[in-house]
Structure 1
Amino acid sequence: MTSREKEILEIIKSNPMISQNELADSLGITRSSVAVHITNLLKKGYILGKGYIVKEESYVCILGGTNMDIQGFPKSNLILKDSNPGEVKVSLGGVGRNIGENLTKLGINTNLITVIGDDVYGNKILEESRKLGMNMEHSLILQGYPTSTYLSILDDKGDMQVAISHMDIYDKLTVDFIKSKKHVIDNSKLCILDTNIPKEVIEYTVNNHKDTVFFLDTVSTTKAKKIKDLVHYFHTIKPNKYEAEMLSGIEINSEKDFKKAAEFFINKGVKQVFISLGEKGLFYANEDISSFINNPSVKVVNATGAGDAFVAGLAYSYYNEFDIETTAKTAMTAAILALSHENTINPNMSVNNINNKMEELGLC
């Protein structure tokens, strides 16, 4: 493919309905030259027929949050209302972005649709995503707005104790912008949504892409309230116990309650339910089976990225058509790998390491 053909193909990807005259104007060349390049792209198989339907590899689309994470780690017991000796680390974060990085490390082509500022943090996110191989070309970049920032304080066990989120930029991710990304969502193998994005965007997306398989990351009890009336649109959901209680209206205190809550979601139309129990393990269910998996005893270094790795494991499993039991074990093992490293994203996340860890823990 020539450099001009690549240029034309990228424009067509972002606007499949663009005319040849519009292409010519934007590139400063003649319409006849555009026609020649289009013909060559058709012959080479990069464009499929009329309407500029672009042939792309199968991929997962993520519509969610991206931010910079600033984490504080005390050297000993955390003392509130006092200055604690420790370490401070700055890293790329955000639920959607973290899921995307984990998925990319698992060999899945990933398109992340998010919003960032045209600032130092935003440029860093774009640079690192390019190095990683995660596609962010469909994300919104805004001048004059700071990239979302998440500040958290962890205790000596690696559990988050308090955090401050500066995520006002997400309000600028509008329905009109998402409309322009219809082809990205429609052509995905599955689309993961996290509840950091505005409710109206979530509502528009699930209502206007009926043939798309949607996965949900609830993020938090407060943010999950956005989708309480939309849960039936999701193929797979991953709430924790408290989020499941809020979404279902069912208080969960026993095994029977877990099954009752799962039945509520399945009767709504959800195909797979995974309820995280933290260190106690996982409950999972579909219309045919339900079961618990106890969490193996592992040392927790940093619990921040476990949920994101878990959702990446769910998406990887769906992508590879695993049954629900294998899916649950794969996702749990991905979360365990995340727990075992000081970084939010374990740099050693890979399919081979998941398989090796599953065998080590007796989950195979």
Structure 2
Amino acid sequence: MKLSDLITPVALIDVKRMQQNIDRMQSQTNRLGVAFRPHVKTSKCVEVTQAQVQAGARGITVSTLKEAEQFFDAGVHDILYAVGIAGNKLPQAAALLSKGCDLKILTDSVPSAQAIVDFANAKGLVFKVLIEIDTDDHRSGIKPDAASLLNVAKVLADGGMAIHGVMTHAGSSYDLNTPESLANMAEQERSGCVHAAERLRAAGFACPVVSVGSTPTALAARSLDGVTEVRAGVYVFFDLVMHNVGVCDIEDIALSVLTTVIGHQEEKGWAIVDAGWMAMSRDRGTQKQTTDYGYGQVCDESGNALKGYVISGANQEHGIISRAGEPDLDIVKRFPVGTQLRVLPNHACATGAQFPEYQALAATGAVTTWSRFYGW
């Protein structure tokens, strides 16, 4: 297929850009001397993940057990489910273990750890468990110095579980936008997680894995002493939020939505396209950043950004393209009905989730369909 053959809107992957992003992250983690375990929740796509593995990734990270099932069926065995486990999901996790999946699960509390132990002991299983560490007050996890860290470890160890290690995610790095602040956050993430591991080891618990990561901190880290693996996800496509954070150029963004101009409001300087929030998602992550891209940055059909033109408004199936500042009263001539455009997303994970498949655009111009996973 060619782009002109596609019924818009579609999620479009620029394969050349994607591969450059994969190579960049793999080179960074190789330089820092750590294993790289990509977070595949961004793409939820076998072909994308295969490219990451071929570049040198060791195992994957998932955000749902459905992803774990799908990727295991596709031949990936080393999987970290990086969301705190709830008791009702343990049978699903156990089923993966029984099939031979090398699944690791996550906890950050005594009740959760006890639920893991009780279920596993009743079933005659041993789970590999990582303890989540909170290094930035962003979300979940145990503070590196908290007494509960050792309490959780004791419950797991006394219950016969394998304490596989500790992991953290510096999600607050998304709020930063300078090289120095990102490097400082990367060091905060590293040192906090390493400290938690050292406390566990000093108390007599095994802690072979020290896992850290977010796309900004992975790219900004200057040293990862004491860390064994890095996780990052959105880097594979990048997006406008990451551009505002400062870790990629507009030209690095590999995911876009191909859309078609379907009408105009000439006196307002609007072009109407068939990509509304059902295609772009409602994520307005750039709204609180230095540059607000509305629902997405508009590009020409070849992927070249058209400065100042964004999707400034969106309904379910309609997007409004306008120019920042003075309205473009030549909008009808600039973007005639039928014009195909690409729109770069605020948040690649959210935009990708709107589509059941991607259209992978090769450098030759050929387009191939790649399926995408859904569900929990």
Q: TM-score, normalising length from structure 2?
A: 0.28
The structure showing larger relative contact order (alpha-carbon pairs under 8 Å, at least 6 residues apart) is: 2
Q: TM-score, normalising length from structure 1?
A: 0.29
Which structure: greater strand fraction? 2
Which structure: greater helix fraction? 1
